[in-house]
Amino acid sequence: MLLDGKRLLITGVLTDDSIAWHTARIAQEEGAEVVLTGFGRGLSLTERVATRLPIPPDVFELDINAPAHMEALVDELAARWGAVDGALHAIAYAPEDALGGNFLSTPPESAATAFMTSAFSYKTLAVGLLPLLRAAGGGALVTIDFDNTQAWPAYDWMGVAKAALVAVTRYLARDLGADHIRVNAVSAGPLATVAAKNIPGFARFNDVWAERAPLGWDTANPDPVARMIALLLSDWAPMTSGEVIHVDGGFHAIAAGPGTAMAGDAP
């Protein structure tokens, strides 16, 4: 199996329609042992959906911006496994006033919160897990990106945070390569997760992807993204690091959909 014997930390599981939950499911089906994290009022939801996995895993609370939480999690994993083979960083948050067309009026505190929670947190997770990854002889870290090469309606400071997340990915790849730790990002197409539904105007993405993605795209199906994450967490990508892998139906590669009229087209 692809992940036989791997010990994996999966963060950010909130509902069973999330990328993180499906990654945990596939990881278990491929032989991995996993633990999950949740946070605050959502922790009970994480514990509930954990029971729907093939093997219900333990769930630990992790506020990535609280150093005591990270330290307690690392201590628990050290006692349980002694080492960790990989982790999924599925953590992102921006305050309401940093989204929805508020880019010009967003206060600096809200932009900073979006950056700390959605981008800097990848470094926090990596540094916290570093002793356990070293104990495993290396491993893999994967985060979830959304295409940030363009400005999107309503995405605002979360788009800026995602651009920072890609930069963090590259710098982590640079600094952790000597420890045989691969650091990558998966740029997913839009998915109708709880987090996405909270973005004003999210439904507009459906029409855009339907027009441009050559392979098509189903916003209700996180499985293709989760499968790519599982691959990057496995030993089948031994020399891939600092990369952003697109799983978006090919949308990122196409300037306009096949039915889009262009200037100069014959009538």
The CA distance from 28 to 64, in Å, is 24
Residue 260, in any domain of the structure: no
pLDDT at 144: 98
DSSP letter for each residue of 97-130: GGSSS-GGG--HHHHHHHHIIIIIHHHHHHHHHH
Host domain of residue 13: 7-247
Residue 166, in any domain of the structure: yes
DSSP letter for each residue of 5-64: T-EEEE----STTSHHHHHHHHHHHTT-EEEEEE-GGGHHHHHHHHTTSSSPPPEEE--T
Q: Which CATH number goes with the domain that contains 99? A: 3.40.50.720
Residue 171, in any domain of the structure: yes
Residue 259, in any domain of the structure: no
Q: How many domains does the chain have?
A: 1
Q: Known catalytic residue: 155? A: yes
Tally of helices (H runs) and strands (E runs) in the chain: 9, 7
Q: Find the helix or strand (DSSP H, E) in which 145 lies.
A: strand 139-145
User: What is the pTM (predicted TM-score) of this model?
Assistant: 0.93
pLDDT at 267: 47
Are the C-beta atoms of 90 and 118 separated by less than 8 Å? no
The CA distance from 39 to 92, in Å, is 12
Q: Of the residues 93, 123, 155, 197, which is catalytic?
A: 155
The CA distance from 193 to 204, in Å, is 15
Q: Of the residues 6, 162, 171, 197, which is catalytic?
A: 162
Q: pLDDT by residue for the chain (267 residues), tens digit each?
A: 999 999 999 999 999 999 999 999 999 999 999 999 999 889 999 999 999 999 999 999 999 999 999 999 999 999 999 999 999 999 999 999 999 999 999 999 999 999 999 999 999 999 999 999 999 999 999 999 999 898 988 899 999 999 999 999 999 999 999 999 999 999 999 987 666 666 666 677 777 888 899 999 998 899 999 999 999 999 999 999 999 999 999 999 998 766 554 444 544
pLDDT at 262: 47
Residue 255, in any domain of the structure: no
